[in-house]
Chain A
Amino acid sequence: MTSDRTASSFQNLTESELESIFDRMDYVAPENVVTTVWLSLTLGKPLLLEGPPGSGKTELGKVLASGFETELIRLQCYEGLTAENALYEWNYTKQLLAVQSNEGAVDTAASNSTQSVFSEPYLLKRPLFRAISADSHTPPVLLIDEIDRADDAFEAFLLEVLSDFQVSIPELGTIRATQPPIVLLTSNRTRALSDALKRRCLYLHIEPPSFDQEFQIVSQKVPELQATVTAELCAIIERLREEPFLKQPGVAETLDWARAINTLRAPESDDPLSIAEIQRTLGCVLKEIEDLDRVDETLLSELITVAADAETPR
């Protein structure tokens, strides 16, 4: 995959190519994820990713950026996020200093000797502006993370940007993206998004992975852990997800747990997981005190049984 892929060349991107990128980046993607991402790239539509926390939504954006060797521009949403925080702001301090030192003029039609302080050097580009004004050969990946945390007003503003991929700055004029960025939006469903935003996006709900997929993920991300232990660990996680916990363990928790187990163990040890070992490291998987309390001796012994029965996938 060359790095000079442009937006139009995504028209010629095949699923196999995309799958090979995921493989190269050690991202285990089920077939439906590959197809949907490929559709999003080919149709040039933003992709709305939903799923429980830790299911790999943000990671998908990082993988795409690395895979296409392009810039990842991340906009982390939060309550109170405004258009100024996301688009652009004038660097008032720099403008003031420039005017005081006669290096800049307030007049937009400044003479040659003095530069207008309402020009690009005095502009603080925020993520959306950077994504639109990027002039690299490959369009950047714009990851709008946890859009459900932002306010309705920001969501409405985002609609405008995602529709036209252009911004208007009164002092500079309209800046239009030469190539629309690859847009990924993630949501944890803490609130419902507007129909207008959803209509503009393709939708993908990422489910927790199957045992085989999770085994593959852990094997690739934590290769130093023995395969038998990895299988035990994935079987336990699969069993834990059947419990009605307040916070179900995601893939991120599984990876944390695998790394914790690997750190605590002797190198290349393939001893079966013990109850004490599970109890000691359960905080990596369960993050609520009520959930931890639910793991009693009965459940622990059940987990050990499940782990003992786990078979390493081929």
Chain B
Amino acid sequence: MTDHPSTTPIEAADFTTAHKHVLAELHWFTDQLHQQGVTLPAVSTLEAARALSLVGLSDKTRVQTVLQATLLSAPDEYTVFAAVFPEFWQRLRARLEAVAIETPTQAGDRPETHVLSRSDSLSVMTADEPRESTEQDVETSGPDSIQPTSTQQIATSTDDTTTDDAAAVRGYSATGPAGSVDPERALGPQHDTTEAAVTEFVETVVTLAGRRHRPATSGRRPDFRQALRKSIQTGGAPIDLPMQTQVTSERNCCVLIDVSGSVLDTLNLELLLLLVTTVTERARNARVFLFDTELTEATDAFADRHVDPLTALRNAEVTWGGGTQIGCSLETLKRTAPDAIDRQTAVIMVSDGLDVGDDDVLAESIAWIARRSAAIIWLNPLAVSRAYEPTARGMATCLPFVDGLFGFADAADLTEATRQLSYRGLHGPIGYRYDRRRHGGPSTSNTP
């Protein structure tokens, strides 16, 4: 059986000792989660603090579990939590270490035996509501202020025979037992964000709820047609309001990549290949098409996992560069591979929308795709610019048929798109216009 030392009163005391600092950091943490799109009720910080007062702060895993239980309410939020928690933990440890070192031990003021019970810590919590964290709170406890963790313990004795000066200066630690500093933790989250961002984006796209709806008592959208039909029975007066809900199922995916010079010059090729490879691996069925002035299918080239993607592209025998005729290419798709897109298919279009072809053909083709597919997600490398507006002829033609137009230059763009799609869905306010970075907000990138 695993022993859980942090349930003892001694460990609960560390929370009480420095609870104001903990609350400040907790407030910062919940604020970060909120900014990243996690829905948090107003009392969640208090609930989290109460729970922390029960388990103490010495065990990272337990703190993480407790905060997940009290702050999160959907599996999607675990990803955001995992991205923010390491920094919170680092700040918290640094702050508590600072408290331990700053606590002066005056002459004759040895740390007293002070074993608080769990009820003590709870009563302190309920009596002292979480205060608003100040700018100073946050700024003075950045990653730079982290101190090497010592093996200080909460004092449990008033043994006057202790003559160790260092121990006398340190007083007691508010952090309880600790180990050596983890260099990775000190450096902040260091992991391959690109691959994670691409995977999350693809996972989100292939599980998007489509446009189809079915009747459901607990649906969120009124079924107007059904309501009208039913109202005929009651002389035109609608008695009930039938509701409908979105149909969710795993999606096929069709990736259309513009390989014209204007796109390839602005695009991170490695990221593009990673995206396509991930789509072919994760989607239930994936079709990949490359186009500039003509359309070529490259599904088979990407299907073999052992083939290098670049080799796959070479094998696709596509001549890169040159102008783009999106409408003509999509017309070819409609003619030669109409089964590539059905109502279960999410279409990912990678293009800058600079079209030199016939506008009418483009409008007709994109409308066909929009009618036939579950969603059109357009990744435009130009849309990463804050000044970008889709005024180019091709893009302006396609825009009414596109469900989401996102910038696409690096992993952070995909992370932002994932965030929007996850939390707002296809019918919510999504797209480059709602990218918080465009308005000077924080990046959703996990890159430190």
Give A residues with C-beta under 8 Å from B.
14-16, 19-20, 23, 31-32, 35-36, 39-40, 42-43, 45, 48, 50, 79-80, 150-152, 189, 191-193, 195, 198-199, 201-205, 244, 246
Q: Which residues of B contact A192 (CB under 8 A)?
A: 74
* Pair B2/A202 contact, Cβ less than 8 Å: no
Q: Which residues of A contact B65 (CB under 8 A)?
A: 31-32, 35-36
Name which of B2, B73, B283 has the most chain A CB atoms within 10 A of its CB.
B73
Query: Given A79, A152, A204, which contacts B69 in the complex, CB threshold below 8 Å?
Result: A204
A14-B7, A19-B2, A246-B250 given; A203·B218 CB < 8 A: no
Given contacts A35-B65, A198-B73, A199-B44, 15 further A-B contacts (CB under 8 A): A16-B2, A19-B2, A19-B4, A32-B65, A45-B47, A79-B216, A79-B217, A80-B217, A151-B218, A189-B75, A195-B73, A202-B70, A203-B69, A203-B72, A204-B69
Q: How far is the CA of A263 from the CA of B345 in the complex (A)?
A: 42
**Looking at chain B, what size class is its interface with the partner chain?**
35 or more
Name which of A23, A42, A48, A80 has the most chain B CB atoms within 10 A of its CB.
A42
How far, in Å, is A86 (CB) from chain B's closest CB? 16
A23-B1, A203-B73 given; A150·B282 CB < 8 A: no
* Pair A244/B2 contact, Cβ less than 8 Å: no
A32-B65, A35-B65, A79-B217 given; A16·B3 CB < 8 A: yes
Q: How far is the CA of A36 from the CA of B72 in the complex (A)?
A: 12
* Pair A15/B4 contact, Cβ less than 8 Å: yes
CB closest chain-B residue, reference A14: B7
Q: How far is the CA of A193 from the CA of B66 in the complex (A)?
A: 21
Residue B68 at the A interface, CB < 8 A?
Answer: yes
Q: Which residues of A contact B216 (CB under 8 A)?
A: 79, 191
Q: How far is the CA of A14 from the CA of B41 in the complex (A)?
A: 28
Q: How far is the CA of A152 from the CA of B74 in the complex (A)?
A: 18
Q: Which residues of B contact A244 (CB under 8 A)?
A: 250, 282-284
Per-residue interface assignment for chain B, residues 1 to 26, with 1 indicating a CB less than 8 Å from any chain A CB and 0 otherwise: 11110010000000000000000000
* Pair B75/A205 contact, Cβ less than 8 Å: yes
* Pair A43/B2 contact, Cβ less than 8 Å: no
Query: In chain B, residues 60-106, which have Cβ atoms closer than 8 Å to a Cβ of chain A?
Result: 61-62, 65-66, 68-70, 72-75, 78
Q: Which residues of A contact B217 (CB under 8 A)?
A: 79-80, 151
Name which of B43, B218, B249 has the most chain A CB atoms within 10 A of its CB.
B218
How far, in Å, is B443 (CB) from chain A's closest CB? 26
Q: Which 5 A-B pairs have the closest CB atoms?
A: A198-B73, A15-B4, A32-B65, A199-B41, A36-B69
Q: Which residues of A contact B445 (CB under 8 A)?
A: none
Query: In chain B, residues 40-68, which have Cβ atoms closer than 8 Å to a Cβ of chain A?
Result: 41, 43-44, 47, 50-51, 54-55, 61-62, 65-66, 68
* Pair A43/B51 contact, Cβ less than 8 Å: yes
* Pair B218/A150 contact, Cβ less than 8 Å: yes
